[in-house]
Chain A
Amino acid sequence: MTLALLLAALLAVACVLTVALPFLREPEPESDSLEELDETERHRLELLEARDRALAALKELEFDHRTGTVSDDDYRALVGPLRREAAAALQALEGVRTFVTQVPVGEGRPTRERIS
């Protein structure tokens, strides 16, 4: 009984320490705010996803055409729009990149912090 209670107390203390660890490690941090992606970064992430999606679709179409799963006619009908989509995604991405590099530090881009 006593041993069990002692072990239980030790467990509780260990858990409390684990939970308090971030505060014990950094009692007075420079900043305690969570890093969030700003609107531009979120938009950029979406464009990167769109780019990857378009490029992956092109790659898959090429391979399916090579294996014969996609016929010549279907390939010709599909490859054009897919290439245009990929090009549009790359272009949009380039536009965001140009915009970001033109914005001086401190104007719209929060400083980065690690939370892990």
Chain B
Amino acid sequence: MAELGRAALIVTLGLTAYALVAGAAAAHVGRRRLALSAQNALVAAFGSTLVAAAVLLAALLRNDFSFVYVAQTTSEALPTAYTVSAFWGGQEGSLLLWLLVLTGFGAAAVRLNRGWARDLVVWVVPVFAAVALFFSFLVVVVASPFATQPAPVDGAGMTPSLQNPYMLAHPPLLYLGFVGLTVPFAFALGALISGRMDERWLVATRRWTLLAWTALGIGQLLGAHWAYEEVGWGGYYAWDPVENAALMPWLAATAFLHSVMIQEKRGMLRVWNVLLVILAFSLSLFGTFLTRSGVVNSIHSFTQSSIGPWFLAFIAVVVAVSLAVVFWRLPQLRSPTKLESPVSREAAFLYNNLLLLALCLAILWGVVYPMLSEAVRGEAVVLGRSYYDFFLRIFGLPLLLLMGIGPLVAWRRASLRSLGTTFRWPSAFALVTGAVLLGLGAGSSVPGLIAYTFASFVAATIVLEFARGTRARKALGAASWPGAFSSLISRNRRRYGGYVVHAAIVLLAIGIAGSSAFDTVAEARLTQGQTMSIADYRLTYESLDERSAANATELRAKLQVARGDRDLGTLEAGKNAYTIEQQISNEVGIRSDPLTGEDLFVIAEQIDPDGTIYLRVFVKPLVNLIWIAGLVFLLGSLIALWPDAREQRRLVERTRDVGVPATR
């Protein structure tokens, strides 16, 4: 069936080429049927890519090793769930998934908006088609998932670290995020080319951007949890280039989600917003280039391949064309209003944007510096953790503080006296919290103490906003307090969903500060019966067990854990030896305290043949708040994403008023 897969992708290539040429011609000369035909081509491209994806999935599930891709990424012994995840576990499959999501998003975004924004959508189609054409070219010509060979007896298997449940969700979510950023890019570029600089492109892409941003955020957190549990080095984020590749577009999209509010509320920052959209999309392409080109050494990256130059050329074209179009439309992008005061909500959002962008560019420099130094000096100089930590503190801590300030400052301008009244209680709460923590010894890490103090300030402002809002809704006639609370959120989902997301960032900041600035580490070499201590934990090495799993031999050291006089049960840490893959992985032992959010984290660094083990043990305070932050982040995003009937009605009335049919 490889022929069917290949043919389906050739059909996709033809359809996207047609959608590009016919769509651009139809938009240029104003031909209705040709424009519809180009839109249909985009929908059909999704159908043909779906067929190709089904062929690859069937080959994976049948262990058809005549497919080179299947033989390289799976084996007979691989559990079915990981066989499915092999779809995106290798380069060719992940590119196919990218194309599938891209054509699916393109078809959906065009169909959902072609009624009410038809004059805009005709220009969006060729932009989508151009991006899809590039990816279909890659999977047809450069990196086909349907290359065949005489079938070997068994496959090479999957990298052990990828045999983890998180790998079922982490990569697809990142792809949803990366590819989702194509939607605002296509609409922004479509709006620029067509000269339709009204707000419709923002309205059409608002939820798509939020969806992509949410998927990227959750995908990164799942990736961090995977690294924490599976990679076995004692952390969850290593500033690895490929981790950074997902963080950079997320930061750019975060900046856009804030600055777009200024355009919606004040009609300002039009150039800035299109530049942020272009940046976010370009960074998502750059991230893909990093993962697939082999230019960086990373646990996540695929092997050296020939697609790097193609990606680099495509990124260059995207950036050059986008900037040229922005420059061409500059006169139309001029804002009718100006910033009235440096003390206003829009100013706070602007500062937030500058900090986010500065952090994003500092990370970008850290990522490209080894490549540049290798190109110039012939030696790759890698910027270490201290470089990134420095900029995280310099830009991240003020960002955290601004998260509390921004939403409580009035639009346009606010008096200093008013600010004093507004921030009196949150500031007092933060100062008291800081003083108490200082008294408890948190002064051992100044950045950590500042992070806790700022986080408590933001938390207080969020609680205050919900409390005041609920009280106001109750005064406006809500029947009960829960009714008032519910009405508060449902009447302004974006604002209050945003506050819930801010609460998630507060939890994340506390979790990161606690686990990185206040963690404890100890190392020991133990023989059976010996005990080691760390913080107030005691670990006694009881036994070493060996057992067989489906595709690996598991070696586990059993440790008895006690805290003070209390027995906390046993914990296992060890290694897996994967037979087919011929690799050994660290399998860490983690004991979480649900009350304090603290983890006891054990790595069996070395297991000698005589049963002696070399342990590295961490105590990570509050680390579990990071994972809880993920759930809160998802909740806030869902609130903000939820359709708002009032807003829909207003948009329908507006478009009907102009004469455009109100169907969306």
- From residue B649, how far is it (CB to closest CB) to chain A in Å? 12
0/1 interface trace, chain A 69-93, chain B, CB 8 Å (1 if under)? 1110110011001000000000000
A53 to B659, CA, bound (A): 20
Quick one: which of B7, B410, B476 contacts A70, CB cutoff 8 A?
B410
0/1 interface trace, chain B 336-368, chain A, CB 8 Å (1 if under)? 000000000000000000000000000000000
Q: A11-B51, A15-B11, A64-B410 are in contact. Are A115 and B114 (CB under 8 A)?
A: yes
Residue of A whose beta carbon sits closest to that of B476: A66
Q: Say whether B119 faces chain A, with CB atoms less than 8 Å apart.
A: yes
A71 to B198, CA, bound (A): 33
A73 touches B417 (CB 8 A): yes
Quick one: which of A19, A36, A48 contacts B658, CB cutoff 8 A?
A48
A69 touches B33 (CB 8 A): no
We find that the number of chain B residues with CB closer than 8 angstroms to chain A is 64
Quick one: which of B3, B118, B410 contacts A74, CB cutoff 8 A?
B410
B650 touches A11 (CB 8 A): no
Q: Is the interface of A mostly helix, strand, loop or mixed?
A: helix
A104 to B134, CA, bound (A): 49
- From residue B49, how far is it (CB to closest CB) to chain A in Å? 11
B67-75, B273-281, B295-303, B467-475 - interface stretch = B467-475
A33 to B469, CA, bound (A): 51
B118 touches A116 (CB 8 A): yes
Q: Say whether B625 faces chain A, with CB atoms less than 8 Å apart.
A: no
Chain A contacts for B114, CB-based, 8 A: 115-116
Task: Name which of B30, B422, B469, B659 has the most chain A CB atoms within 10 A of its CB.
Answer: B659
Q: Say whether B386 faces chain A, with CB atoms less than 8 Å apart.
A: no
A18 to B37, CA, bound (A): 8
Q: A11-B48, A19-B37, A71-B417 are in contact. Are A115 and B118 (CB under 8 A)?
A: yes
Q: Say whether B447 faces chain A, with CB atoms less than 8 Å apart.
A: no
Residue of B whose beta carbon sits closest to that of A23: B33
Q: A4-B1, A19-B41 are in contact. Are A52 and B654 (CB under 8 A)?
A: yes
Q: Say whether A101 faces chain B, with CB atoms less than 8 Å apart.
A: no
- From residue A39, how far is it (CB to closest CB) to chain B in Å? 11
Q: A44-B658, A46-B198, A53-B264 are in contact. Are A66 and B475 (CB under 8 A)?
A: yes
Quick one: which of A8, A50, A66 contacts B3, CB cutoff 8 A?
A8
B31 touches A15 (CB 8 A): no
Q: Say whether A67 faces chain B, with CB atoms less than 8 Å apart.
A: yes
Chain A contacts for B215, CB-based, 8 A: none
Chain B contacts for A22, CB-based, 8 A: 32-34, 36-37, 40
A69 to B418, CA, bound (A): 9
0/1 interface trace, chain B 259-272, chain A, CB 8 Å (1 if under)? 00000111100000
Chain A contacts for B30, CB-based, 8 A: 33-34, 36
Chain B contacts for A19, CB-based, 8 A: 15, 18, 37, 40-41, 44
We find that the number of chain A residues with CB closer than 8 angstroms to chain B is 56
Chain B contacts for A4, CB-based, 8 A: 1-4, 7
Q: A34-B122, A53-B265 are in contact. Are A23 and B37 (CB under 8 A)?
A: yes
Residue of B whose beta carbon sits closest to that of A66: B472
Q: Say whether A105 faces chain B, with CB atoms less than 8 Å apart.
A: no
0/1 interface trace, chain B 432-452, chain A, CB 8 Å (1 if under)? 000000000000000000000
Quick one: which of A7, A29, A69 contacts B468, CB cutoff 8 A?
A69
Q: A23-B33, A53-B265, A115-B36 are in contact. Are A71 and B415 (CB under 8 A)?
A: yes
Which residues of A29-69 are within 8 A (CB) of B?
Answer: 29, 31-37, 41-42, 44-46, 48-50, 52-53, 56-57, 60-61, 63-64, 66-69
Enumerate the 10 nearest inter-chain pairs by beta-carbon distance, A residue then B residue, closest first: A8-B7, A71-B418, A67-B468, A22-B36, A4-B4, A4-B3, A22-B33, A34-B30, A15-B44, A18-B44
Chain A to chain B contacts (Cβ below 8 Å), 10 pairs? A11-B48, A18-B43, A19-B15, A31-B32, A42-B198, A60-B411, A69-B408, A81-B412, A115-B35, A115-B114
In the complex, besides A5-B7, A53-B264, A73-B417, 19 extra interface pairs with C-beta distance below 8 angstroms are A7-B4, A11-B4, A11-B47, A12-B7, A14-B44, A18-B43, A19-B41, A32-B33, A34-B27, A41-B659, A56-B265, A60-B411, A63-B472, A70-B410, A74-B410, A74-B415, A78-B411, A115-B114, A115-B118
